[in-house]
Amino acid sequence: MSDFDSEKKDGQARPDYYQPNQNAGGTYYNPPQNEQAQDSNTTYHYSYANNNQQAGSNYYEPPQNDNNSQNGNSPKPPKKNKAGKIVAIILVICAFVAVVGIVLGATGVIDSNKNSVNNNSTSQSQDSSSDVKTNDSNSVETKDSSGNLTVAGVAQKVMDSCVGITVYSQQQEAYNYFYNYGDNSNSSGSSDPQKSGEGSGVIMSESNGKTYILTCAHVISGGTKFTVTLNNKKEYDAKMVAYDSQTDIGVLSINATGLQVAEFANSDNLAVGEQVVAIGCPGGLEFMNSLTSGYISALDRPISSNIGYDNKCIQVDAAINPGNSGGALFNMQGQVIGVNSSKIAATEYEGMGFAVPSDTAISTANSLIKSGYVEGRAKLGITYVQLTKYSNYSAILSALEEKGYKDAEGTMVINSIDGSSDLASKDVKQYDMIVAVNSKTMTSTDVLTSVLADSKPGDTVKLTIARIENNEIKIKNVECKLMESKGESTTTNNNSGN
């Protein structure tokens, strides 16, 4: 798969994807700005104003006692014979008032105490009801109503089968002329392997005292030493079993047993809209076994590998970041349905990640473990560059259309021919173009790769070859016997193999 991850330093540049045209002078939405109010008295908030107190308003005043002297009437003097009785009555009234006052005072104290107690109780009740309460339950829902695992349930089930991979590469030390003046014995040399990348993987199987780790070819292809880190942070030295650049699948092994092996599902049964979970090491082992969740956006998306093969991949919107390569894509039963391989890393795109389907990954990995390469795979024995990589491809396509090969954008320009290829004995050379296979126009490179996928070593295919001579295009047909492909151990920046 095309590598947009940090683990791969020297991979083939990814074919350009369609990018939306940017309209000149296009504007983006800007929220409207509040206009300055013309009235200086305008306000943008409400404030409470007491409108009841108006100027000149009269407040309630208690009535004043009339002065009897103003009426012109003088009070009559009391009679002398009633003075003793009046004094006695006054004394009785005062005594009665005193008793009543004492009784009412005592009652008021009691009521006051009761009210105080009630008020305190009410206040405490109100304070208590306003306290934030937490749920002491630690249970996490791991299954939904349909019986599928929740995202948390998937994490609990599979996390121990997910691993981190550290890749080390042998680096040549440049000769320092002045450091060892006069000593030419160190004019060249190699240092110890240096860490060159980090990626992800998933435990796929155990056999004969070894545990096998499934990952991506572009994660491990440039390495000479590897370590595998488990979810419990335990590390193991790992060995490369093999890798296949065509499918971008690789396998490591460690000397360990009893580890949690992942469960794999049939990727042919997937559907767009299914929820998925991706687990890996985005940014490296610092963020090991980070989980993201999303949905299947599309199936059978043709994505080019490092050597030019178009593989049919699962497209997902779960976040895939540098370091996620080789990590597993799970369904909601906690089963592996794919191996995360790449993403479209451009500012115009978000949420476009791709995974190798589990069926492809497992069949490839099993062949790599058994034979070191994918058995029974046929190839022509050439390297090529796609015609559309050339600046003048439009003129060539127009000329091919005049010859009857319309929309031949998948035309392959031969760059080299393997000495053991049947084409080496034919009248075919560098820069010849394959414009059709078995009479089918190369509308995409899929035309040839599909024929090869359905063929076996020893089968014969008919190639339509176009050659430019004297500024003219000449067409001829050539039959070629297919040879067995025994895998790719190296890749180049510009050439692809078939």
Q: Among the three residues 323, 358, 393, which one is the final residue of a domain in this structure? A: 358
Task: Please give the C-alpha separations between residue 81 and each of 23, 75, 86, 168, 484, in angstroms, as whole numbers.
Answer: 119, 18, 10, 130, 150
Gyration radius of the chain's alpha carbons: 44
Residues 491 and 390 in one domain: yes
Q: Are 323 and 197 in contact (CB under 8 A)?
A: no
Domain of residue 310 covers 263-358
Within-domain flag for 310: yes
Residues 324 and 393 in one domain: no
Determine the Cα–Cα distance for residues 335 and 315; give it in Å rounded to an integer. Answer: 17
pLDDT of residue 127: 57
Instruction: List, as own/partner pairs, every contact residues 10-17 make where C-beta atoms lie below 8 angstroms and the sequence separation is at least 24, other chains included.
Output: 10/222, 10/493, 11/218, 11/306, 11/491, 11/493, 12/306, 12/307, 12/308, 12/491, 12/492, 12/493, 12/494, 12/496, 13/493, 14/304, 15/304, 15/386, 17/344, 17/346, 17/349
Determine the Cα–Cα distance for residues 491 and 496; give it in Å rounded to an integer. Answer: 8
The DSSP 8-state label assigned to residue 68 in this structure reads G
Determine the Cα–Cα distance for residues 474 and 433; give it in Å rounded to an integer. Answer: 10
Determine the Cα–Cα distance for residues 423 and 383; give it in Å rounded to an integer. Answer: 12
pLDDT of residue 158: 95
Within-domain flag for 298: yes
Residues 352 and 384 in one domain: no
Burial class (CB in 10 A: 0-12, 13-18, 19+), 444: middle
Residue reference for tokens 């393997």: 418
Within-domain flag for 250: no
Q: What is the pLDDT of residues 390-436, one digit of tens each?
A: 989 999 999 999 999 999 999 999 999 999 999 999 999 999 999 99
Within-domain flag for 28: no
Average pLDDT across each block of 10 residues of the chain; the chain has 498 residues. List them in order: 42 39 39 40 34 39 40 47 68 71 59 54 57 70 83 95 94 48 48 86 96 96 93 96 92 97 95 96 91 95 72 91 92 96 69 93 95 90 90 92 94 93 94 96 89 92 94 94 73 47
Q: Strands 335-343, 328-330: parallel, antiparallel or unpaired by DSSP?
A: antiparallel
Residues 488 and 382 in one domain: yes
Determine the Cα–Cα distance for residues 310 and 445; give it in Å rounded to an integer. Answer: 7
pLDDT of residue 107: 57
303 strand-pairing partners: 311
Residues 483 and 430 in one domain: yes
Q: Residues 104-130, buried b or exposed e (16+ Cβ, 10 A)?
A: eeeeeeeeeeeeeeeeeeeeeeeeeee
Determine the Cα–Cα distance for residues 142 and 156; give it in Å rounded to an integer. Answer: 8
Q: Which residue among the candidates 5, 244, 248, 310 is catalytic per the annotation?
A: 248
The DSSP 8-state label assigned to residue 410 in this structure reads T
What would the 3-class secondary structure string for 195-262 be?
A: EEEEEEEEEEEEECCEEEEEECHHHHCCCCEEEEECCCCCEEEEEEEEEECCCCEEEEEECCCCCCCC
Q: Among the three residues 329, 358, 387, which one is the final residue of a domain in this structure? A: 358
pLDDT of residue 93: 78
Q: Among the three residues 302, 328, 358, which one is the final residue of a domain in this structure? A: 358
Residues 336 and 387 in one domain: no
Q: What is the pLDDT of residues 138-183, one digit of tens each?
A: 677 888 877 789 999 999 999 999 999 999 998 655 444 444 444 4
Q: Determine which helix (DSSP H) or strand (DSSP E) holds 401, and give its type and residue range.
A: helix 393-402
Whole-model pTM?
0.61
> Which phi and psi (to 5°) does residue 54 adopt?
-100, 155
Within-domain flag for 399: yes
Helix, strand, coil fractions of the chain, as percent rounded to 5: 25, 30, 45
Residue reference for tokens 């127009």: 398
> Which phi and psi (to 5°) does residue 336 adopt?
-75, 125
Residue reference for tokens 């000449």: 474
Catalytic residue list contains 304: no
Residues 347 and 385 in one domain: no
Determine the Cα–Cα distance for residues 386 and 397; give it in Å rounded to an integer. Answer: 12
378 strand-pairing partners: 484
Whose CA is closest to 168, among 192, 199, 193?
193
Token pair listed for 432: 């010849």
Written as one string, the DSSP assignment of 18-48 is P-----TT-----PPPPPPPSSTT--SS---
Q: Strands 433-437, 440-441: parallel, antiparallel or unpaired by DSSP?
A: antiparallel
Within-domain flag for 192: no
Query: CATH no. for residue 400?
Result: 2.30.42.10
Question: How many distinct structural domains can be found in the chain?
Answer: 2
Within-domain flag for 322: yes
Query: CATH no. for residue 342?
Result: 2.40.10.10
Within-domain flag for 117: no
Q: Are 428 and 443 in contact (CB under 8 A)?
A: no
Q: Are 289 and 280 in contact (CB under 8 A)?
A: yes
Q: Are 148 and 158 in contact (CB under 8 A)?
A: no
Contacts of 358 (CB under 8 A, 6+ apart): 264, 265, 266, 267, 336, 337, 338, 339
Residues 404 and 493 in one domain: yes
Residues 340 and 268 in one domain: yes
Determine the Cα–Cα distance for residues 224 and 241; give it in Å rounded to an integer. Answer: 12
Catalytic residue list contains 45: no
Q: Which residue among the candidates 161, 305, 325, 496 is catalytic per the annotation?
A: 325
pLDDT of residue 308: 60
Residues 282 and 321 in one domain: yes
Determine the Cα–Cα distance for residues 479 and 439; give it in Å rounded to an integer. Answer: 12
Burial class (CB in 10 A: 0-12, 13-18, 19+), 363: middle
Residues 411 and 461 in one domain: yes
Whose CA is closest to 164, among 275, 277, 252, 241?
252
Burial class (CB in 10 A: 0-12, 13-18, 19+), 448: buried
Q: Which residue among the candidates 218, 221, 358, 421 is catalytic per the annotation?
A: 218
Residues 431 and 336 in one domain: no
